[in-house]
Amino acid sequence: MKVLLLRFGELYLKGHNRYVFENMLIHNIKNMLAGEDFRISKTFGRYVVTDYREEREIELIEKLKRVFGLYSLSPADEVDSDVEKIEDYISKIKCEGESFKVFVKRADKSFPISSMEFAKKLGEIVLNNNKNSYVDLYNPEHEIYVDIRINKKAYIFDKIIKCQGGLPLGSSGKGLLLLSGGIDSPVAGFLMARRGMMFEALHFHSYPYTSELAKDKVITLAKHLTNYVGNLRLHIVSFTKVQEEIHKRCKSEFMITIMRRIMMRVANKICEKYNLGAIITGESLGQVASQTMQSMTVTGSVVKDIPIFRPCLAMDKEEIIQISKSINTYDTSILPYEDCCTVFLPKNPVIKPTIKQALGEEQYLNVDALVEECLEKEEILEVSSEFDNRD
């Protein structure tokens, strides 16, 4: 019988809470495969997807590759874990002229032959049936895996497809992603989701300084993220008034510092209102003036009671770009529409601002009123996906 054999990674580190994580993972797999015909069952250390339509196998694999917490998977054949039945299956393998290696793994210790011995025996069977093939233990062209599980089934396959790893979505709470139109913030959201964190997203726009297209771009980015996180709530807030006020009243080199502090305050309030436990940004240390240690200290200092997560902090741009390509956001991110941060951009932003200087600039503004105004005009968009992880 054709099956998909799924392996999960770190979950076994979770001790007594393990079943909570496993249930979440199963739940997320079912959600991701919603609309497909399939069954899923569990045997210690593996999940097995069965009864699916074979012509949908490629799509199923693509979907499963987006489920966080799965480590790898293999399309496999399931046979009874009986020595003769496995040998019979192996005797039909064709790898004429190729080098090969047999890997046997025996989770079921009651299976009568040791893994090493059985691998050797199966290797001989392959050799007998493929006269010109030969064993290569180090760099085989053809790999034959036999995984003997405690459910008295053996799974035979020839490839291991890497999945995302990480932790099941939802197992690390829910945050708020500050989503710009750039490359880094969608990647930041993806990375936190891979660690099990769900999120809602917040975007600031500066209409009419920024166009409708800039907003559409962010909606498209959010849509791409839904492939991983399911339905996604996007909060959209107008930042025009804030920027005009800062531009009018503060020193231009502090424009970005003060803007970021107000963004953080708004984000903090939205987290409070919607019960979100962290702010997520795409900042990367030293990438631009607003992302130095000092700048992050000054912008972070206005946030109360919750952490700011910056999963791209220690990554090079190249690495971030690679991830953004792999999650399909890159082509959208590089579309050339202005972001609100590029409007009123000062020529020489401060690189090492202090909290004292920031407070000094903010006395010319009615910060609380500006934050309130942003919140009053908040618009909420539900960006829908093929599946919903929130139920």
Q: Which residues bind Mg ion (CB under 5 A)?
A: 180, 182, 339
- d(CA 91, CA 113) in angstroms, rounded, equals 18
Q: Using an 8 Å Cβ cutoff, are 236 and 206 in contact?
A: no
- Check residue 176 for interaction with ligand ATP (CB under 6 A): no
- d(CA 36, CA 391) in angstroms, rounded, equals 18
172 or 290, CB closer to Mg ion?
A: 290
- Check residue 183 for interaction with ligand ATP (CB under 6 A): yes
- The β-bridge partners of 202 are 178, 235
- Check residue 189 for interaction with ligand ATP (CB under 6 A): no
204 is in the binding site of which of ligand ATP, Mg ion, none (Cβ under 5 to 8 A by kind)? ligand ATP
| Binding test (CB under 6 A) with ligand ATP, winner from 28, 133, 164, 185 | 185
Residue 24 host element (H or E): helix 18-32
User: One symbol per residue from 198 to 217: x for binding ligand ATP (CB under 6 A), - otherwise; what is it?
Assistant: ----xxx-------------
115 or 287, CB closer to ligand ATP?
A: 287
Q: Percent helix, strand and coil across the chain, each rounded to 5?
A: 40, 20, 35
User: Which of these segments, 109-117, 181-189, 223-231, 377-385, binds ligand ATP (CB under 6 A)?
Assistant: 181-189
Q: Using an 8 Å Cβ cutoff, are 377 and 218 in contact?
A: no
- d(CA 165, CA 179) in angstroms, rounded, equals 24
Q: Using an 8 Å Cβ cutoff, are 152 and 182 in contact?
A: no
| Binding test (CB under 6 A) with ligand ATP, winner from 288, 293, 334, 335 | 288
- Check residue 332 for interaction with ligand ATP (CB under 6 A): no
24, two tokens: 């979440």
Q: Using an 8 Å Cβ cutoff, are 156 and 119 in contact?
A: no
Alpha-carbon separation of residue 82 from 4, 6, 88, 152, 225 (angstroms): 20, 22, 10, 8, 45
- d(CA 293, CA 289) in angstroms, rounded, equals 10
- Check residue 240 for interaction with ligand ATP (CB under 6 A): no
106 or 215, CB closer to ligand ATP?
A: 215
| Binding test (CB under 6 A) with ligand ATP, winner from 74, 133, 172, 180 | 180
| Binding test (CB under 6 A) with ligand ATP, winner from 31, 74, 133, 290 | 290
User: Which of these segments, 101-109, 284-292, 348-356, 368-376, binds ligand ATP (CB under 6 A)?
Assistant: 284-292
Q: Give me the residues that bind ligand ATP (CB under 6 A), please.
A: 178-180, 182-185, 202-204, 281-283, 287-288, 290, 339-341
